[in-house]
Structure 1
C-alpha cells in the first residue's frame, strides 16, 4: 500500500482536518511575521496568555509525595491531648459532634477502634499571623512572615495514585496535562536553551517503601509533547543521552540532527502532524541542553555562605537540599516551572521514627530557597508552593504505641503553604475542627464551601494560574468535544485572602 495512503487511513477525519488547519495557520503566521520555524521560537507560548499582568513570572512547587501529617506539622490540635487513646469514632459519631466527613481506607476500616493519637511534638506561634508551627519545622517557623498557610485544603481522592494525579493534572484518571505542561503551553519559556518545565525527584530519609511516581505527573496528556517536564537525574548525566556517545563528535551530532530535522520537516509538510513539529523542537532543545545543563548543575561556583544556608546535604547530589538550590538556579535562567517531588511521607507506621527525618530533609532547604530568592530580589516574582496530595488522620492506624504508631490517609482537610509571587506572607487561611476531621466555618460547623474557608485542590490550581497571569477558565484546549481545563468543569476559585 502507498505509505501516504496508509498514514492517512490511520488518522481520524477530525484529527486530519484539525492538524491540517493548524499547519496552515502556522505557515500563514510565519509568512506574515517572518518567524523562524517552531524549533527556533520555542520560548513563545500561545498569544492570548497571560490574560492580565502577572504577579509571578515563574513558579517552584515543592511536592511532598505521600501526604505529610498536618496534626504533627502545621495544624495544631491541643484539645486532643485530653482525648489520648479515646475512640475517635465514638467521639465523633455518638456525642453529637460533627460527623467524620470522609470515608476511611480499607487499611483502617476494619479496626475495632480509632484511638486518638495527639501529636507528641510541641507547637508555638510565630509571625504576625500567629501561625502554629511544630518543633519539627524550626526553619519554617523562622519564615512565618514570608509564607501564607492554608489549613483548609481538601480533595475527594483517598488513595495516593488518584490523589496525586488529581492535584497535579486536575483529574483523578490519567491522561490529562500536568500543571507544568499547562504553564509551558500557555506561557512558553524565557530561555530557549533550557526546558520551560523541569522535574526533580530527590532522595529521602523517611519510610523507604514510598509510593511510586509516574511520568504522567509531569506529562502533557493531549497537549503537544514538547511541553512535558524534563526530569533531571541525581547521578550520571542530568538528562539521559545528554552526552555524545564515544566516538561521536559535536560536529557529527549536529550533522545527524540536521539530517533528521530535514526528514521531519518533509513529513510535517506532508501530514501537518503537530507532534512532528514538537519532535523537531525537542531534538534541537536536547542539542542546546548539552551546553546549558552541565553549567546549570555545576554548584562549584556557588558562594560558601549560600551553600551553608541550604545545609550539609546540599553537597550530596540528588538530595532535596541540592534540588532546591538547583531550582533557584533554574528560575534565574528562565525555567518557567520547577517541580520537586520528595517521597517518603506515607507514615502508616513508625511515624515518630520517619517523620522527623522527612522534616529534616525539607525544612532547612525550603527555608533557604525562600531566603535565597528574597536576597536576590527574585521572590517577588517567583511563586513557591509547598504541600502534598491529602492529609492524615488524627486517629492511630493499628495499635497506639509511642514508637510505632502511624496515621492513615485523610482527604477531608490538610495544610499547604505558599510564598512569594504576590502571596501575602504571615497569613493563615481556614480552620479545621478540634479532631482534625473537618474543615469548619466561623460557627464551627463542618463545611466544604469556598465561601466558608474551604479550599479545594481546584482552587489551589486556579490560584497558582492566577498569580502567573492566567484566568483558569480561559486557558483551555478543545479535546474530545470539550473545552478541557486544568481546573475541570466544576467551579474553581482564586483564594484571594492569601494574596497581597
Structure 2
C-alpha cells in the first residue's frame, strides 16, 4: 500500500485510525506475502504449466498428487466429472408415464390398488380420504430403443434417440411426500431450508475453474407454473456467501443490480473497488471475520461479470443448425430450450455447476395432457444437450442429471376415465437418469414392482445419489464437511453410500 493512498484511507474516518492501531504493518506483510506470492506464481505460470508434469505415462498416484493443491486436500481420488448440468424437473414427473413401463396394468384398469402393495405407506391428504384408489394404467405407448433396449414412452420421442448415453435409476426413493420439503431435500440433503445446496458444496470443496463467472449458476424456465421455487434451493446455507448460486434471468439484466445506474459510465469503479478493498483489509485484520473476505470476492466477481455476463448470455453467434437441434424455443431467452443451450455455453466458459429448474410436472389431474405439455417443452432440448455435449467432446467429463423431487402414484387421484386420470405424490419409487462423466451409458439400475409403487431391486436413496454425485467429482462424501455451531455438517448428513454399480 503506497503512503499517499494510506493517508487517504486514514483521513476518511477517525474510526479507521483505531483499526490501524490493531494491525501491525510488519505482521500484515508477514501473513500475506506468501499467499500473494503463490497467487502471482499461479497466474504467471498458468494452469497448463502447473500441471505440465502430467502426461500419458503418469500413474494415477502421480496425477492425484498433482491434483492435490486444494486447500481442503481435494479431490480425495481421481475425478471423472469436471462440471455438471442438473436438469431439475420440479413437481414430480410421472415415472410410469415416461420410463417405468408396466404392461400388466393394462388389464387392471379401475381395480382397487391392493392394500398389500400400499403396505401402510403414508398417503397425502389429497388422496388419503378417497373412498377408493383405482389403478390408472398409462395412456402412453412404450417401446424399447437403442442397443440398451431401454423403455421410453411416446411422450419422449427425442430422448429415445440418446438412450444409449443414459443411465436410468428406476429405484429412487426419498423421505419426503410434499413438494417444498422434497425439493429442499433433493437439493440440499435436508428437508428444512438453510442447508447448503449441492452446487454450493461443490463450489466450497473444489473452487472455481474460471475468474470471470461464478462457479455455480442457476437458470429457471420463464413463465413457469407450479410449485414455487425459492432462492434457498441454490443458497449457500452456512457456507461462506461466495459459494451461493447466482441466478441468471432472461431479459435485459441477466443478473440483478449488475448494470451501471443510468448516467453512470463506471470509469471510476476500479478505483472505488481498490479503495473498498483497502478498507475491508483493515477490517479483516482487525476482526478476522471470513465473511469480509467473501464479500470482497463478491465485489470483485461482480466487477468482472459486468464484462463477462453480456458476452456469455449472447447466443447470437450460435449457428442455425444448433438452434434447430434444440428446437424453436431455443431462440426465445428464458425458455427451457434456451436455458439448455445457455448451460452448454456456460460450461464452455468454465462454470462448474449449472442448475436448471423447470416447473410444471405436478399433475394431480389431467395427467396425460400435463405430461404431453411438459414433454413438448423439455424433450427435444434435453436430448439436444446430450448430443451437443457429445459432439463437442464434453460429455466424457460433464455429468448431466435429470429428475424431480419424487414420483407419482399408480392409482388415480380423483375421477378416472380411459382418457384421463390424475396422479398423487409418491416418494418411495421414482425414476431419474444421469449421463456422461464416469456413469455407465445405456444402463438401467433398479426395478419396481408391477405397480411402480415399491422398489424390489437396488433402491437408491437421495443420500446415496448425493454420495455418488460427489464421488464422480473425486470427493469422499464423508470427508467434505463444514463446522457450524459446534457440529460438522455434510451434504449427506450421517447417511449415504456410493452406488458403485452405476459407475464405469
Q: Which TM-score band (shorter chain)?
A: 0.7 to 0.9
2:182 to 152, 156, 163: 163
Residues 199 and 230 in structure 1, CA contact (< 8 A), matched pair in contact too: yes
Match of 1:188 in 2: 207
Q: Deviations along 1:154-197, whole A, 9 cap, x unmatched?
A: 01100011111111111111111000000000111111100000
For residues 30 and 440 of structure 1, the distance between their equivalents in structure 2, rounded to whole angstroms, comes to 60
1:247–1:32 CA distance, 2 compared to 1 (3 A): closer
Matched, 1:337 2:353: yes
1:68–1:357 CA distance, 2 compared to 1 (3 A): same
Match of 2:65 in 1: none
TM-score (norm 2): 0.87
1:499, CA displacement in angstroms?
Answer: 1.4
1:474 to 466, 476, 479: 479
1:256–1:439 CA distance, 2 compared to 1 (3 A): same
Q: Deviations along 1:460-494, whole A, 9 cap, x unmatched?
A: 1111111111111111111222221101112x111
For residues 257 and 192 of structure 2, the distance between their equivalents in structure 1, rounded to whole angstroms, comes to 31
1:495, CA displacement in angstroms?
Answer: 1.6
**1:342-361 counterparts in 2 under 5 A?**
342-361=358-377
Match of 1:464 in 2: 469
Residues 139 and 419 in structure 2, CA contact (< 8 A), matched pair in contact too: no
Match of 1:34 in 2: 37
1:147 to 166, 169, 179: 166
Higher mean alpha-carbon deviation, 178-187 vs 24-33, is at 24-33
1:499 to 482, 496, 503: 503
1:46, CA displacement in angstroms?
Answer: 3.5
Residues 152 and 455 in structure 1, CA contact (< 8 A), matched pair in contact too: yes
1:129 to 148, 167, 186: 148
Match of 1:11 in 2: none
Residues 367 and 420 in structure 2, CA contact (< 8 A), matched pair in contact too: yes
Matched, 1:61 2:66: no
Which of structures 1 and 2 has the bigger CA Rg?
2
1:127–1:268 CA distance, 2 compared to 1 (3 A): same
Match of 2:384 in 1: 368
Match of 1:447 in 2: none
- Secondary structure of residue in 1 paired with 2:296: helix
Higher mean alpha-carbon deviation, 182-191 vs 121-130, is at 121-130
- Secondary structure of residue in 1 paired with 2:93: coil
Residues 178 and 218 in structure 1, CA contact (< 8 A), matched pair in contact too: yes
Match of 2:322 in 1: 306
Higher mean alpha-carbon deviation, 478-487 vs 153-162, is at 478-487
- Secondary structure of residue in 2 paired with 1:280: helix
1:234, CA displacement in angstroms?
Answer: 1.4
**1:232-381 counterparts in 2 under 5 A?**
232-381=248-397
For residues 36 and 261 of structure 1, the distance between their equivalents in structure 2, rounded to whole angstroms, comes to 17
Matched, 1:412 2:428: yes
TM-score (norm 1): 0.87
For residues 323 and 107 of structure 1, the distance between their equivalents in structure 2, rounded to whole angstroms, comes to 33
Higher mean alpha-carbon deviation, 216-225 vs 348-357, is at 348-357
1:49, CA displacement in angstroms?
Answer: 1.1
Match of 1:223 in 2: 239
Residues 433 and 440 in structure 1, CA contact (< 8 A), matched pair in contact too: yes
1:53–1:111 CA distance, 2 compared to 1 (3 A): same
For residues 286 and 485 of structure 1, the distance between their equivalents in structure 2, rounded to whole angstroms, comes to 29
Q: Deviations along 1:276-331, whole A, 9 cap, x unmatched?
A: 11110001100100111111011111111111110100000100010001100011
1:244–1:402 CA distance, 2 compared to 1 (3 A): farther
Structure 2: 5+ residue runs without aligned partners? 1-13, 48-68
Residues 45 and 185 in structure 1, CA contact (< 8 A), matched pair in contact too: no
For residues 460 and 351 of structure 1, the distance between their equivalents in structure 2, rounded to whole angstroms, comes to 27
1:25–1:67 CA distance, 2 compared to 1 (3 A): farther
1:420–1:142 CA distance, 2 compared to 1 (3 A): same
Structure 1: 5+ residue runs without aligned partners? 8-19, 442-452
Count, aligned residues: 458
User: CA RMSD for the aligned pairs?
Assistant: 2.3
For residues 30 and 237 of structure 1, the distance between their equivalents in structure 2, rounded to whole angstroms, comes to 39
1:81 to 76, 90, 106: 106
- Secondary structure of residue in 2 paired with 1:223: coil
